A and B are shown apart, each in its own frame.
Chain A
Amino acid sequence: MHNHTPRQGQERFVAPTVSSELPALHVDTSHPPENQWKQAWKALRQNWIFWFSASLLVIILFVVLFPNLLTSVDPRTADLSNSLGKPQAGHIFGFDRQGYDVFSRTIHGARASVIIGFLTTIIVTIIGLFTGAMAGFFGGWLDTIVSRGADIFFAIPLLLAAIVGLSALNNVWPDRGYWGGVFAVIIALAVFGWPQITRIARGAVLEIKHLEFVDAARSLGASKWRNLFTHIIPNALPPVIVTATVSLGVYIVAEATLSFLGIGLPPSVVSWGNDIAAAQPQVRSGDNLHVLFFPAGALAITVLSFMLLGDAVRDALDPKARK
């Protein structure tokens, strides 16, 4: 409707004005834009590397949880008359020098490696995410303390630090059995492993905290803590998750290396690292390769699965990397 009535005493032409209601803004709330996690999951589903590594990891997890379904041979019972026996029917991986069944040892050895990899990564990620997010978000003296602290732990090479830490633990806590041995390795790796995640989380939070949507949330009255937990940390997660997935494999290798050096898991613990270390002298001349091949191969496949999964997750979470 047009309001075209000139005012009193005003004969001049007045431009017609429209006084209709503002057209309603049509926001389709039934289909909200997909969040990044959904998009990432979509990208992940289309990546064959993800399915390949995920199925390998499911198999490995099965081996860790139900070793007795795969072998009925006790990994701790040795028969010296079988020493260095070649692979044969019923003992498809053969025997090692002590006469242990290599197949059984390889199956049962998965547990220590995978548990150490998982728990170390979880602990390191929790500590790193918390310290890194606090340092990046609050800045100031908190940032200085956390960053310098991370520098201190980062400056000592991980392997060397873990060796020193474990030898200290050996004195304080000797004869620690299976779980004690596993947790000692986890502690040694976690104490010196967290700064890596701290640095990445801090960097991500620093980048995000100045973005518009954070300001928008604040101007709408969101508190500091609400902003931190609902907006900043979830958006800082992708690089942390990628690093964590890859470092899971690195920690498994680190455990094997420590056990190889004779300072990681106690010799009584059935683990790939211990078996590889024990196999080394038997293979010096190039014979008896089966003793080394199977535990080393199992370790390599496990680490490879986590590396591939990390690659796939990185591609899925980074929009730039998507084709």
Chain B
Amino acid sequence: MWRYIVRRLLQTIPVILGATLLIYALVFLQPGDPIVALFGEKPVSDAVRAELEAQYNLDQPFLIQWLLFLKGALVGDFGVSYSGQPVSELIGRTLPVTFQLAFMAMIIEAILGVIAGFYAGMRRGKIFDSTMLVVSLIVIAIPIFVLGFGLQLIFGVQLQWVPPTVGSNTSFTNLILPAVVLGLVSFAYVLRLTRTSVIENLTADHVRTARAHGVSDGLVNRRHVLRNSLIPVVTFLGADLGTLMAGAVVTEGIFNINGIGNLAYQAILRGENPTVVSVVTVMVLIYVVASLLVDLLYAALDPRIRYA
């Protein structure tokens, strides 16, 4: 087990290095001078330029810039944005909000998706199953910004059950609607995944054997059908954390939430390169850690999987 964890951790190193290098190249290997952009129309004196270039490592070759960035990132220092704020501070302020949002979305999609998918699979072809299939397809087919906007209009503007936009007050109740919107598409995928795998497991040999042994229906369904059906769902949820963080770009925009998605989006639009690479690095790290946790969770769910 420990050897597996170590090997898996070592495997993530080239992924993190490669992904940061890729994003770094996309952001920094562009024509155009960020220092000129910083000053707009005003002329820049050579002394100021030299000082700024030194501050942002722009006087170094590209690969050295990247290595210096990694060196700082290792100790949680992402440098300073062009507008003068420490990037770590920006991330520290916005990441918890997005975490809360993504976590709520994940709870919603996992619980509702598994329950609905389980019952749909158990009653394949019945009215609940068909309804859920149609609902999931509609949710996937309508772009999330249209759905989010529609729900905001209904619950925020018309019914006034929740505030239409969140702003700075990121309390639990204020975040419920954005979390539902963020988790909606993944809910549909979880539902379909659970349903398919419940249907597959219902006809599995070990389930038939358990029933033949006289184990009660409820126990077979819970222990043998549901538990086995959760394995692909857990894989999906692990990879989904990254998708949720990225999906936050849209959701946080609609509901005006000061999360990391909004930070990333604004930074990209404004050409705040240090912020962009830092935020993407954080998201890559989250993705890598989540998929590592999923691999370890397998062992708890599926005793057949043993790590050598």
Contact = CB atoms under 8 A, between A and B. Distances in A.
Contacts of A203: none
Contacts of A168: 26-27, 30
Given A158-B246, A257-B145, A167 B269 contact: yes
Nearest to B246: A157
- Rank and list the top 6 A-B pairs by shortest CB-CB distance, nearest first: A157-B246, A152-B18, A304-B141, A303-B141, A159-B246, A160-B246
Given A155-B19, A156-B22, A168-B26, A261 B140 contact: no
A160 B137 contact: no
Nearest to A297: B142
Given A149-B18, A256-B143, A283 B268 contact: no
A161 B249 CA distance: 12
Contacts, number: 131
Given A164-B268, A164-B280, A172-B31, A296 B15 contact: no
Interface in A273-308: 273, 276, 280, 283-286, 292, 296, 299-301, 303-304, 307-308
A303 B140 contact: yes
Interface residues of A, number: 44
A215 interface: no
Given A164-B27, A256-B143, A300-B141, 5 more contacts: A158-B243, A160-B246, A160-B283, A172-B30, A256-B145
B265 A163 contact: yes
A157 B26 CA distance: 15
- Interface SS, A side: helix
Contacts of A156: 19, 22-23, 280, 283-284
A48 to B, nearest CB: 13
14 contacts: A153-B22, A157-B283, A159-B247, A164-B26, A167-B268, A172-B30, A249-B140, A256-B143, A261-B253, A261-B265, A262-B269, A283-B149, A296-B142, A300-B138
B158 interface: yes
B225 interface: no
B138 A155 contact: no
B200 A171 contact: no
A38 interface: no
Contacts of A280: 145, 149
B157 A160 contact: no
Contact of A148 (B14, B30, B284): B14
A283 B146 CA distance: 11
Contact of A307 (B16, B141, B146, B288): B141
A151 interface: yes
A152 B23 contact: no
Contacts of A273: 143
Given A148-B15, A152-B22, A157-B245, A286 B137 contact: no
Nearest to A152: B18
